[in-house]
């Protein structure tokens, strides 16, 4: 375990098992769309979801496009600012395709709800969210998440793509960061 981690929440083995199940569910749910000739785009919310989407996409046994969008909501602070800005847009079109948004973690849900509303205006056939983690916190807005990895406690977590100030993304496990690191 990394010295800055207080507690490991999910091991690489637990993550792999859960992601495989999520991939199976997506394969099952979208097979009829593919059979009907409809396209699927899996998009990653950079940078935190890159690790998750790399694994999730390989667990889906259907043809799909992969695309990437960068948004900022946190900066280098540990608390959500509530401000979401698109830093990098998708390269391809999602019009008349099914969009799956891969997200690392749903905290307040502000990022995802903002993104979903924005992407709806581009006329996809559907939008669903696949999130690796969802924090156990009270929310002002409901967040609709079709595929969820794990619920996690209201702590600052890192690893498996999740960072604090751009560090710890390459940890293979998901763990609680020691508070003295970010306070």
Among 104, 175, 109, which residue's Cα sits nearest to residue 139? 109
- Which one, 31 or 83, has the nearer CB to ligand IMP? 83
For the sheet containing 97-106, what is the strand order?
85-88, 65-72, 39-46, 97-106, 126-135, 147-152
Is 151 a residue of the active site? Answer: no
Secondary structure (3-state) at 126: strand
The listed partner (Mg ion, ligand IMP, none) that binds 80, CB under 5 to 8 Å by sort, is ligand IMP
R_g (Cα) of the chain, nearest Å? 16
For tokens 């800055």, the residue is 4
Report residue 161 CA to chain centroid gap.
9
Secondary structure (3-state) at 83: coil
Our finding on whether 104 is near ligand IMP (CB under 6 A) is yes
- Which one, 107 or 173, has the nearer CB to ligand IMP? 107
Quick one: which of 10, 74, 147, 160 contacts ligand IMP (CB under 6 A)?
A: 74
Size of the site for ligand IMP (CB under 6 A): 17
Residues in region 84-103 near ligand IMP by CB under 6 A: 103
Determine the interface stretch with ligand IMP among 13-21, 22-30, 53-61, 106-114 (rule: CB under 6 A).
106-114
Active-site hit among 24, 61, 89, 107: 107
Catalytic residues: 107
């Amino acid at each position: 375990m990394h010295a800055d981690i207080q507690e490991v929440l999910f091991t690489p083995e637990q993550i792999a098992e859960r992601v495989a199940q999520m991939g199976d569910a997506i394969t099952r749910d979208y097979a009829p769309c593919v059979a009907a000739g409809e396209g699927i785009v899996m998009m990653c919310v950079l940078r935190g979801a890159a690790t998750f989407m790399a694994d999730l996409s390989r667990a889906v046994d259907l043809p799909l496009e992969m695309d990437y969008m960068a948004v900022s909501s946190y900066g280098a602070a540990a608390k959500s600012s509530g401000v979401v800005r698109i830093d990098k847009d998708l390269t391809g079109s999602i019009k008349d395709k099914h969009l799956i948004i891969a997200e690392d973690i749903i905290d307040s849900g502000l990022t995802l709800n903002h993104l979903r509303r924005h992407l709806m205006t581009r006329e996809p056939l559907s939008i669903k969210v696949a999130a690796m983690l969802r924090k156990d916190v009270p929310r002002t807005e409901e967040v609709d998440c079709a595929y969820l990895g794990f619920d996690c406690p209201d702590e600052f977590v890192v690893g498996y793509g999740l960072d604090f100030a751009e560090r710890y993304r390459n940890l293979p496990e998901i763990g609680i960061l020691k508070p003295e690191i970010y306070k």
